[in-house]
């Protein structure tokens, strides 16, 4: 036991994910892959993954999730540069100074904002734009790193658990289910809002309790190890407002760009404005359409590349206004890239699990076997099936693709409840699973050991599971 414990003391996250990859490969040698058709499992036999597949899986992992990878790399560049700009340093210091003594308010408000954004925005990774900024402030306020994690990455997990209109995984999950039976994002929306509120309150109860203990202990080991350290600004005459303005603009565009206004709220003004903008011409030339490019989309329909353009423009204007030397920009950008390499490596390894499950979908056999123990919808069996899906289907949308036939053939009239179970249990599993992308990305970012996190979060996860099972049982049987 001591040897196993010592093995995971250094680079524990990478080792844990490698172990998850090994378990996934072994399962491809034991459990048959297959598909569902008309409620019956079509056995495709064992689709064993071997040595060549292991090498190729890394390539496919990067290919599947290139959008997220490129975005995280640019976030590294963005904060690598602006954290050395005097305006940003002064802004962070002023905010931290004004909030001194109001740490609990800062943590709860930050958690609420991140939770709501994650629950509403169609791109989960877009939330990463705000995370380093919040952690910079938390570091200046001497808030411990676990609390900093809880009000940022932890709150993202709460938003995924209580997904209302957002997260790309949930959107794709719904889209795939629509191949079998008509269902919209608004199905069971009131209940999902209730679960979101319940999860947020319970999560922050534990957060504040931990924060009180941390403030009382004053241990140096608990201080935030900020990936993008913001040093004190020596230039007292620095103008803060340009930097504040650019950050506000990025935040506004992120919210406008990733809330699906037309589909969710029947607001067509943004799509109509986009059409008008692209058709606006000088003579026979649509100048703005040429400048924006062929791949521009209306607000509410953005991918991660689009907000990267907004961030790049704001970064360029910041560099010009604050007169940062070009060589300094390059040096800091390279340093920023280096700082996100380890979290990105952890993420790539997690996605390898998805690649193997995509190549050898043994999870369909497992979930079909679990649901076969009952006729029709059983909330407890559905929860177990959803937990299996949450561990292996890193891309939640794939769960809808792989298991949609089970939904329509097994859950029948309880189709909507099946969707509710899968969405919430998938989110809950994300708090503890060694394949949870957001969880391990955050733990790697703040260098929090996986064991320490599990020791902290197990009470919340257990209570939340009990509450969800009660809710599912009530909706099914009462």
What is 170-218 written as a DSSP string? HHHHHHHHTTTS---TTTTHHHHHHHHHHHHHHHHHHHHHHHHHHHHH-
Q: Does residue 278 sit in the same domain as residue 418?
A: no
Examine the domain organization and report whether 150 and 72 are in the same domain: yes
49 has pLDDT over 70: yes
| Residue 180 and residue 317 in one domain | yes
My answer on whether 236 and 295 are in the same domain is no
Going by C-alpha positions, the residue among 155, 165, 94 that lies closest to residue 130 is: 155
In total, how many domains does the chain have?
2
What pLDDT is recorded for position 174?
Answer: 86
Question: By 3-state DSSP, what share of the chain in percent is helix, strand and coil, each rounded to 5?
Answer: 75, 5, 25
- State yes or no: pLDDT of 421 exceeds 80: yes
In-domain check, residue 9: no
Asked whether residue 383 is domain-assigned, the answer is yes
Residues 242 and 289 grouped into a single domain: no
Q: Are residues 226 and 347 in the same domain?
A: yes
Q: Where does 39-181 show beta strands of DSSP type E?
A: 40-43
Q: Is residue 295 part of a domain?
A: yes
As a whole-number percent, the residues of the chain with pLDDT over 70 amount to: 95
- Average pLDDT on 372-398 reads 90
Please report the pLDDT score of residue 119 as a whole number: 93
Alpha carbon distance 120, 259 (integer Å): 6
Domain identity same for 126 and 199: yes
Q: Rounded mean pLDDT of 453-461?
A: 95
Whether 123 is covered by a domain: the verdict is yes
Q: Is the pLDDT of residue 1 over 50?
A: no
Q: Which residue has the higher pLDDT, 12 or 443?
A: 443
Instruction: Find, among 441, 350, 431, the residue nearest to 395 by Cα.
Output: 350
- Average pLDDT (211-229) is 70
State how far the Cα of 452 lies from the Cα of 474, in Å rounded to an integer.
34
- Assigned domain for 102 exists: yes
pTM: 0.92
Q: Could you tell me which residues come within 8 angstroms of residue 437 by beta carbon, excluding any fewer than 6 positions away?
A: 347, 350, 351, 394
Query: Inter-axis angle of helices 362-371 and 379-392, to 10 degrees?
Result: 170
pLDDT band at 405 (very low <50, low <70, confident <90, very high): confident
Contact 25, 356 (CB under 8 A): yes
Mean pLDDT of 359-365: 91
**Do residues 340 and 237 share a domain?**
yes
Q: Around 135, how many Cα atoms within 13 Å sit in the side-chain half-sphere?
A: 26
Nearest to 366 by CA among 46, 31, 38: 31
- Parallel, antiparallel, or unpaired for β 34-37 and 40-43? antiparallel
The confidence band for 225, taking pLDDT boundaries of 50, 70 and 90, is: low
pLDDT at residue 236, rounded to an integer: 67
Judge if 152 and 288 occupy the same domain.
Answer: no
* Domain that residue 276 falls in: 261-299
User: Quick one: pLDDT at residue 272?
Assistant: 87
The most confident of 176-185, 317-326, 395-404, 406-415, by mean pLDDT: 317-326
Query: What SS3 string covers 227-256?
Result: CCCCCCCCCCCCCCHHHHHHHHHHHHHHHH
Question: Is 279 part of a structural domain of the chain?
Answer: yes
Question: Which DSSP state fits 164?
Answer: S
Q: Is residue 314 part of a domain?
A: yes
Q: Which residue, of 299, 329, 362, is where some domain finishes?
A: 299
What pLDDT shows up at residue 221? 55
Tokens read off for 362: 């043994």
Q: Which residue has the higher pLDDT, 285 or 33?
A: 33
Residue 22: DSSP 8-state = H
Out of 27-31, 195-199, 216-220, 284-288, pick the least confident.
Answer: 216-220
Taking alpha carbons only, the member of 181, 192, 193, 159 closest to residue 400 is: 181
Element (H, E) at 37: strand 34-37
User: Do residue 267 and residue 355 come from a single domain?
Assistant: no
Examine the domain organization and report whether 188 and 274 are in the same domain.
Answer: no
Of 139, 71, 111, 104, give the one whose Cα is nearest residue 311: 71
User: Could you tell me if 394 and 289 lie in one domain?
Assistant: no
Judged by average pLDDT, the poorest of 18-27, 100-109, 228-237, 354-363 is 228-237
b/e for 153-183, b at 16 or more Cβ within 10 A? bbbbbbbbbbbbbbbbbbbbbbebbeebeeb
Please indicate, yes or no, if residue 3 is contained in any of the structural domains.
no
pLDDT higher than 90, residue 54: no
Give pLDDT tens digits for 143-170: 999 999 999 999 999 999 998 887 778 8
Query: To the nearest whole number, what is the mean pLDDT of the chain?
Result: 88
| CA–CA distances in Å: residue 259 to residues 5, 174, 249, 298 | 44, 16, 16, 11
Give me the pLDDT at residue 218, please. 61
pLDDT value for 237? 77
Write the DSSP symbol of residue 124.
G
pLDDT beyond 60 at 128: yes
């Amino acid at each position: 036991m001591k040897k196993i414990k010592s093995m995971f003391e250094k680079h524990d996250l990478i080792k844990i994910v490698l172990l998850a990859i090994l378990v996934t490969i072994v399962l491809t040698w034991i459990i048959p892959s297959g598909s569902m058709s008309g409620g019956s499992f079509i056995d495709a036999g064992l689709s064993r993954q071997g040595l060549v597949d292991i090498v190729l899986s890394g390539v496919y992992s990067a290919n599947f999730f290139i959008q997220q990878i490129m975005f995280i790399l640019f976030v590294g560049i963005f904060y690598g540069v602006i954290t050395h700009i005097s305006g940003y340093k002064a802004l962070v210091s002023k905010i931290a100074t004004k909030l001194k003594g109001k740490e609990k308010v800062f943590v709860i408000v930050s958690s609420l904002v991140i939770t709501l954004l994650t629950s509403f925005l169609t791109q989960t990774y877009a939330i990463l734009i705000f995370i380093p900024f919040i952690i910079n402030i938390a570091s200046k306020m001497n808030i411990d790193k676990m609390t900093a994690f809880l009000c940022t990455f932890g709150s993202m997990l709460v938003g995924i658990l209580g997904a209302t209109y957002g997260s790309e995984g949930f959107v794709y999950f719904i889209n795939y289910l629509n191949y079998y039976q008509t269902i919209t994002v608004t199905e069971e929306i009131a209940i999902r809002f209730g679960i979101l509120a319940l999860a947020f309150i319970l999560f922050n109860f534990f957060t504040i309790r931990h924060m009180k203990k941390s403030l009382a202990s004053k241990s140096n080991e608990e201080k935030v190890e900020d990936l993008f350290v913001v040093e004190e600004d020596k230039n007292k005459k620095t103008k803060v407002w340009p930097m504040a303005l650019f950050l506000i603009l990025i935040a506004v565009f992120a919210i406008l760009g990733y809330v699906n206004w037309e589909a969710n709220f029947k607001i067509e003004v943004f799509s109509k404005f986009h059409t008008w903008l692209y058709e606006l011409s000088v003579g026979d030339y649509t100048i703005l359409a040429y400048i924006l490019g062929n791949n521009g989309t209306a607000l509410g329909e953005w991918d991660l590349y689009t907000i990267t353009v907004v961030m790049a423009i704001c970064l360029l204007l910041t560099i010009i206004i604050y007169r940062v030397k070009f060589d300094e920009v390059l040096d800091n950008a390279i340093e920023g890239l280096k700082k996100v390499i380890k979290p990105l490596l952890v993420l790539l390894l997690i996605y390898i699990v998805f690649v193997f499950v995509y190549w050898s979908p043994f999870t369909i056999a497992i979930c079909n076997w679990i649901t076969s123990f009952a006729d029709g919808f059983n909330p407890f069996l559905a929860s177990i099936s959803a937990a299996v899906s949450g561990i292996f289907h890193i891309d939640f949308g794939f769960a809808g693709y792989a298991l949609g036939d089970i939904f329509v053939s097994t859950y029948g009239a309880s189709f909507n409840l099946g969707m509710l179970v899968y969405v919430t249990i998938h989110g809950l599993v994300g708090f503890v699973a060694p394949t949870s992308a957001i969880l391990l990305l955050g733990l790697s970012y703040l260098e929090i050991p996986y064991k320490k996190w599990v020791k902290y979060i197990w009470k919340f996860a257990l209570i939340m599971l009990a509450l969800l099972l009660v809710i599912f049982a009530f909706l099914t049987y009462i």
